[in-house]
Chains A and B, each alone.
Chain A
């Protein structure tokens, strides 16, 4: 009985599926974006062991500080990284005093004790780095209805995040003849719809003067700021790998010991103990 009902049910589902399978489909329109869209460039990072096995590699702190400078001078005008607190910048090589000074320069939204009106106060290291806009509406109003995304997690929020960010920043070029980029947007083949609302933020070599004297080109700026954003997305990356080496190493040893114990326990059985056999 069960089998009969099952057989019928199976027949019905299959009929529905096979009907769907044979019904003609609309011709697939060639996707105009796919013609020009590019996968992110191949690029390697210090914290990725420069393309190798990323187990022991760490961030290059000089690069992170340069990246922070790029963010501050170029990106912070439109993009927030308000998941990072000023005190976290100690991780990339600033001293506590420097961090305190950086925080003091910032205006943090606050409320006047006496009148209750919104005002601003000087920042302290415990504050998050404030973004440029009070809220989404203000951000859109200032950017032709486009919302500059929060960059704190951007390298984890995009496929091949660091390579994508680097490619986007260095990927601006004139559009091909048969591609229409509307006014107010800019052609970038690394962006998913090819037309991005962000004008090229790094437009010329030497746009930024690095405090550590590194030669400042567009590629260098892009690399540095991407490394910095990789850090903002996961400040605990180095701790994670360090702990991982210890844990995996310990577990490999424990597994080997476990295997030897297992062999020891089963040794007599595998050798066929005479006692297991009925007496002759």
Chain B
């Protein structure tokens, strides 16, 4: 706790000193009469000033919330000494708004009194937030001294992005060996009919196709496609973003990644994350709800960090990009390093789909003639970049906040269904 004097203390002390000196010099009792009230106030104020002994804490009802949720919280403050005026200010981060309650607030505490102040916050934007710190400022009854303290306790709130529900997702070309919901292209034990073949020793009787056997004069058995799981790796481009106000391409990227990951985890697929940017982060593939939480937590910490280091995909740990995994890249295609990495991934044979999180809605066409031309050229170059990826055989869909994510997913699905493989 730090103690400091207010300007009032210096002012009154100065007035008292000057007044008494003037009284002595001019020998006028009136001067003492003018000075005495200030001297009295000063003496009374300092006599009544007691250093406060405060204890304070901040708490929130829950540590996890979805965008738009309201979260209750409270501040508890107590003092073993009387505090005539106590100012409390709880610092709230951007993205969290106060809905109910007062902040800052001034109150009075008697000796031994404890007060609880309730408030309601609204999680306006996804992210990992720290509620606090709580600043306390106590004053003596006459306002000569101020004690300031910062409460050490803080509360964390993780706000998850509001997810879009997807009806269909991008299907990978290859499946893994574990059971899942994706019908494999390979033949094996499963439900979906694949083909018929001549009977071989060891084939169970219930797989014999009696109709085909009667026509062919020998035993034929049905073959089927097994249901397998898949590995999906989300490649989040965090090299650069376009931002206007509180919304930017990174926000859309996080929302889309979260929605897609939720859909894949629901199908018992394994999901992983590579945040490719100024700082490389990754999460090895895993399945289940815990993995989904891990992924979203990792996404909340994603931020654009400026870096001039030329990063290539060699820096990505090998186990985070398992063979036959579907790589879903979400990128505003603003940085040549990320575009190069995508082409490199495709050239190395990874199954790749790209969601171009369009930066165009976050920009405005300039008024000046030359600036407007430059802007148009930039848009054309961005389109050309997308077409370059498509020409390489990569499924690319442009997506912005105005359109549902499902539309972009369908565009990628259609491209992958009809496109031919191309060599790059």
A and B: interacting chains: no
Task: Give B contacts to A, CB under 8 Å.
Answer: none
- Chain A residues within 8 Å of B, Cβ to Cβ: none
